Amino acid sequence: MTGRHVRDLGEVDESLVAVVGGKGAQLGALSRIEGVRVPAGFCVTTDAFRRIVAAAPSFDDQLDRLARLDPDDREAIAALSARIRRTVEGVGVPDDVAAAITAASGRLGEGAACAVRSSATAEDLPTASFAGQQDSYLNIVGPKAILRHVSRCWASLFTERAVIYRQRMGIDHRAVWMAVVVQRMVRPDAAGVLFTADPVTGNRRVAKVDAVLGLGEALVSGQTNPDVLTVRDGVVVDRTIAVKERAVRALPAGGTGEVAVEAGRQRRPALTDEQAVELVRLGRRIEARFGRPQDIEWCLADDGFRIVQSRPITTLFPVPEADDEENRVYVSVGHGQMMTDPMRPLGLSVWRLTAMVPMHEAGGRLFVDVTERLASPTGRAALLEVMGRGDPLVRDALETVVDREDFVLQVPDEEPGGPPAGAAPAPIETDPAIVAELIERGAASVAALERDIGTKSGPALFDFLLAAFDEHRRVLTDPLSLRVIMAGMEATWWLNDRLWEWLGEKNAADTLTLSAPDNVTSEMGLALLDVADVIRPRPEVVAFLRSVVEEGFPDEDFRSGDFRDGAFLDALARIPGGAEARDAVAGYLDRYGMRCAGEIDITRPRWCERPTTLVPAILDNVRNFAPGAAERRFAEGRRKAERKEAEVLARLRALPDGDRKADETKRMIDRVRTFIGYREYPKYGIVSRYLVYKRALLAEADRLVGAGVLAGREDVFSLTFQEFHEVVRSQRADEGLIRRREEAFRSYHALTPPRVLTSDGEALSGAYRRDDAPAGALLGLPVSGGTVEGRARVVLDLARADLAAGDILVTTFTDPSWSPLFLGIAGLVTEVGGLMTHGAVIAREYGLPAVLSVAGATRLIRDGQRIRVHGTDGYVELL
């Protein structure tokens, strides 16, 4: 039964989403799976809907107004969407469309009750389920009633919830069309939902069955609690049986209604264990057909299960691909690098090519496989020790996996068979000249790269870059550099451990390392204060910068502009007093312009490419600081460190064996102040090289655009390095691949990457096993001592920061690009971070109380709320 306006379910599959919508296409595909029974039915195609809206008065004008509304303006959206629904329902169904629907309904059986269900073209998709956003109707009897409810389904494309969902997902209202599925009604004994993976933990080996008596409408609407059965490896391993006092059933005259459940049935399971296992087997078949875990709606009638819907579970974090079926444990790279946002394919591949260990990609993020290290006692102990010092939540998550015993097979340590593979590194002297030498070496390496890459283009550029990546890794593994970093960290740990043991002083190294020399990241923040000093006495320049923030530059939102041509700096120079301001900003960009938020992703716009990103921070500095603040702050930090040193040494000398303890402590203070600042330099070197790589790659992209191979230069961001190389070699690009990659990247933003992920798909976030904080406090990792109370400012975008002196910054994570904001705040709270990650290092450098790894901080703390940060003890109080 094929026609322009009606298609039989057996005739359609996923290739016809544009014709029958997501639900219709999915049901058609389900009906073709052996052993899966789908109620008979047909689809009213999107062509019929197009005819309706074409006849709807002022429909286009209403859509234009709808697109301009703010997604948060619920009242305006409710009013306009209701008006659009009335407009659509007011259009009569054309006679030929009505005849086709009536004829198709008759073929389902004379007087047959039907389910009439919406099926939008953006529905049940891999990246957006649209579950419950449009309307469906059960037990509709008679041709006239079916036509009336088809019209209601068309109108439900503009329910308030559907409109807001599309706007939040960035889906154009005009890009979505509505089909309608009409199916023979099933009158089930039980119904419910099957998740072929655990929707909470993500474990793909676990299936969850929710079951109620009667129609599943009672479950979907929340009218009744379901039985919940957990099935693993073909066995029900857990069950919760609800008391079933009410059920929803089809009424004889049409529609549905609540009925009482007879007393003898109320405490009995809706499904037997055998039925639940059978249902999960069906679910596994469906999952295999669609290639990903499914959220399946089912009914159980006298003669078996019917499947009435299947959609992908869009909230699960993907699992890295592996060459075998072995159990694996992965640790997030982004949590260690303070960048948990998704990365584009070029960014992922360049980071992997320049990284020191193999990495695996999933959901636009990178992970390291630590299974082998967890398998041996020595490797496990070392890994847990390192992870625990950096991020206790990662350690806890790993210990959760290890404690299961059956997931990671334990192997004994290898018997020693001679001297160790690598002798212990020679001790390093506490000598500032070593740090100076390393900084000089790094600068020379970047200069050589800039010099040599200039003559390379075409395929030869990519060959050159592969060699440059080898040099990149060599610089990162310079033995002297690693020894300096470890010396600084070990001295920090020594001071914190010993001064706690001897003096009861927590995190003493925080104060002792204030204003340590050679910290390029803290210097970067202070240097922006100097830029503000140049701008502050020039009111026309200040006014111009404010206009950039408020109005955008030029004629567009400055946050999305790309000013490679220097337009912003040129415009700044034309303002009275602007030449000096331009020179100050340009000088800052010469030194730090390679940095940006999420800088480990080479595709992210650097400050030198988008200098307006810095404008809010510059204006904050102009407003919140007096001239000369950079020098004063650095000097004050040094004085605090000197006073702390004198106090600690005096207290130690008063102890038994005090001279020895004081002398050892003095040596470690000198050592930590000599070496701790250098820890920020390797990352500075990485992003300096990244800017050189990026400029060369974008020049190649521009050549491809000029040759008509690519539509835009940033299309290359959706290619891996190797694919980019092949496009340059062949002068051919797969436009479809690029668009699919862009869509996938957008979808990855909705996923929250776990700290630890298993090959079963289980996402583990870890927990704090402690009870030393007040009730209701948010627990985290203490990384910089002190206590501060103030106004919380929840900032998710560096370019939108609006901070006043004394504010406490609350955000997801900070990398070095956030350092300029640290100067004006009183404390720091982040969701991601460890003891030696950027936020912790700079918070200690600036003397800011800070608590990191606070789960859900940006959700649980309201912007503007007063909070108290306990940086020494690691918790946040909501006041």
Catalytic residues: 838
Residue with tokens 């593979």: 421
Distance CA 155, CA 157 (A): 5
- Among 786, 829, 785, smallest CA distance to 807 is for 829
In angstroms, the Cα distances linking 174 to 128, 356, 397, 692 are: 17, 47, 45, 42
The Cβ-side half-sphere exposure at 456, using a 13 Å CA radius, reads 22
Q: Which amino acid is at 799?
A: A
Cβ neighbours around 660 below 10 Å, total: 12
Q: Which amino acid is at 272?
A: T
Distance CA 297, CA 217 (A): 10
SS3 273: helix
Strands (DSSP E) contained in 235-372 are 235-240, 246-250, 256-260, 294-301, 304-312, 329-332, 360-362, 365-369
638 with 461: CB under 8 angstroms? no
335 Cβ neighbours under 8 A, 6+ residues apart:
391, 394, 753, 755, 832, 834
- Among 150, 155, 51, smallest CA distance to 96 is for 51
Distance CA 176, CA 55 (A): 17
Buried/exposed code over 516-550 (b: 16+ C-beta within 10 A; e: otherwise): bbbbbbbbbbbbbbbbbbbbbebeebbebbeebbe
207 with 194: CB under 8 angstroms? yes
Distance CA 823, CA 625 (A): 9
Residue with tokens 């009111």: 539
- Concatenated DSSP letters for 384-412? HHHHHHH-HHHHHHHHHHHTTSSSS---P
845 with 870: CB under 8 angstroms? no
- Concatenated DSSP letters for 61-73? HHHHHHHHS-TT-
580 Cβ neighbours under 8 A, 6+ residues apart:
534, 538
- Among 685, 699, 718, 849, smallest CA distance to 783 is for 849
- Among 544, 522, 541, smallest CA distance to 533 is for 541
89 with 151: CB under 8 angstroms? yes
- Among 173, 182, 183, smallest CA distance to 53 is for 173
In angstroms, the Cα distances linking 524 to 633, 858, 874 are: 13, 26, 27
Q: According to DSSP H, which parts of 654-720 are helical? A: 658-675, 681-706
SS3 811: strand
Buried/exposed code over 171-182 (b: 16+ C-beta within 10 A; e: otherwise): bebeebbbbbbb
754 Cβ neighbours under 8 A, 6+ residues apart:
202, 317, 332, 397, 763, 764, 765
- Among 14, 762, 870, smallest CA distance to 329 is for 762
Distance CA 350, CA 696 (A): 13
